[in-house]
Structure 1
Amino acid sequence: MSCVLGFDVGSKLIGVAVGNRVTASARALATVAMRNEIPDWFALDSLCGEWLPDTLIVGLPLTLEGREQPASRRSRRFAKHLQKRYNVQVMLADERHSSREAAQRFADARSAGLKRRRDALQIDAEAAAVILERWLHEGANAP
């Protein structure tokens, strides 16, 4: 299987996207609650059980200069927990500008009549799709 799940980790929500290495494509899947730095593991277990990913990609928030910041620690901690819980490959991917790109995609889809205002709740999942697409296009299939 070539399924990959991507995550955009925030303080309140985690965006989740699913991607395919063969097609190098990704799509927004879901948002999962994060409370007091603890994700909704039941929801994540369900998603991992349904999609059976062989790799998990966690967005790493960096400053514009490429340095780590406080939010970077949250993503690193989440990645470590994923590795222990699911025992699959977990990788970090630069997520700079992913939220901006996700917001632009949403705005474009909304102006085209493809999305509604209530769909904005899925913007974190769209950001995860952006992170995952970048990872897939930047050599995810390289040995």
Structure 2
Amino acid sequence: MVDIVFGFDFGVKRIGIAMGNTLTGQAQPLTVIKAIDNATRFQVIGDLINEWKPARLIVGEPRHPDGAEHDMTMRARRFANQLHGRYSLPVDLVDERYSSAVIPQKRGEVIDAQAAAIILQQYFDDHANI
């Protein structure tokens, strides 16, 4: 069975979203949500979930280079918990320390969706037997 999987690069101003599937194990950028408020951001996410029917959600967990947690670590975890609570889907966290470092630096929001794709690809690579 082939399952769709979503990846999220959580940010206070924007949330990058990527998608992939368990057959190919390849992630690709999907969209960026300009998160004005929680109601709007979760409405857009809910619409995407209804459209694509993912079986699992992956959220990047930011940390300092030495692995220490910081403010955004807790925010990303809270976001992951909210996704699980609202949509009753399994949610996994993936270390995203270097996700934006491997993206060619461009201007604009496309970076957030690319970062989400890198986070999701890392999940696929770490779980090659899914």
Q: Which runs of 5+ in 1 are unaligned?
A: 108-116
Cα distance in 1 between the residues matched to 2:83 and 2:42:
10
Superposed CA RMSD in Å reads: 1.6
Partner of residue 2, structure 1: 3
Q: Give the structure with higher Rg (CA).
A: 1
Partner of residue 31, structure 1: 32
The normalised TM-score by structure 2 is: 0.91
Deviation at residue 140 of structure 1 after TM alignment: 5.2
Structure 2 residue corresponding to 1:132, chosen from 116, 120, 125: 120
Partner of residue 69, structure 1: 70
Deviation at residue 33 of structure 1 after TM alignment: 2.0
C-alpha offsets along residues 38-57 of structure 1, whole Å, 9 cap, x if unaligned? 26111111111111011000
Across the two proteins, how many residue pairs are aligned to each other? 128
Partner of residue 101, structure 1: 102
State the one-letter code of the partner of 2:4. Answer: C
Deviation at residue 34 of structure 1 after TM alignment: 2.0
State the one-letter code of the partner of 1:58. Answer: V
Q: Which runs of 5+ in 2 are unaligned?
A: none
Cα distance in 2 between the residues matched to 1:140 and 1:126:
20
Partner of residue 111, structure 2: 123
The structure carrying a bigger helix percent of its residues is 1
- Judged with a 3 Å threshold, the aligned counterparts in structure 2 of structure 1 residues 140 and 93 are, in CA distance, closer, same or farther, namely farther
Cα distance in 1 between the residues matched to 2:109 and 2:73:
23
Aligned-residue sequence identity (percent) comes to 40
Q: Which 4+ runs in 1 deviate beyond 4 A?
A: none
Partner of residue 86, structure 1: 87
Cα distance in 2 between the residues matched to 1:68 and 1:7:
18
Partner of residue 111, structure 1: none
Q: Is the 8 A contact 1:21 1:141 kept in 2?
A: no
